[in-house]
Amino acid sequence: MKTLTALFTAAALTLTAGLAQADVPVDQIPQLVKDGKIKPLEELNQIVMKLHPGATITDSDLDNHFNSYEYEVELRDAKGVEWDVDVNAATGEVLKNKQDN
């Protein structure tokens, strides 16, 4: 019985973690900007590019973390180094700026 309870608990935690962070569909982004919930992506990209001038954005996602939006960007700088940058999409605050290992 303890094993079954542990399995159900693990499954519930896994499902809850998936719900806690979800990609925002692209078609919802204009409304979030209009409602003032996030800054325009162009503005967020400028913040990221100021950290790594001359870099190229290789991937980006807008995630919803319990109604707090986080813009996650992967980029490659001029030397070929890959970076992960996370920005609070509402405030523009840089949350993470680290070299991708």
CATH of the domain at 79: 3.10.450.40
What pLDDT shows up at residue 21? 56
Domain residue limits at 80: 22-99
Each residue's pLDDT tens digit, 50-65: 999 999 999 999 999 8
What pLDDT shows up at residue 9? 40
Assess if residue 2 is contained within a domain. no
Assess if residue 16 is contained within a domain. no
What pLDDT shows up at residue 7? 37
Q: Where are the beta strands (DSSP E) in the chain?
A: 21-23, 56-65, 68-76, 82-88, 94-99
Length, in residues, of the chain: 101
Q: Does residue 44 sit in helix, strand or coil?
A: helix
Tokens of 83: 């970076």
Phi, psi of 70 (to 5 degrees): -125, 125
Each residue's pLDDT tens digit, 27-48: 999 999 999 999 999 999 999 9
Assess if residue 13 is contained within a domain. no
Give buried/exposed letters for 68-90 (b at 16+ CB in 10 A, else e).
ebbbbbbbeeeeeeebebbbbbb
Instruction: Supply the pTM of this predicted model.
Output: 0.76
Contact status, residue 68 vs residue 52, Cβ threshold 8 Å: no
Domain total in the chain: 1
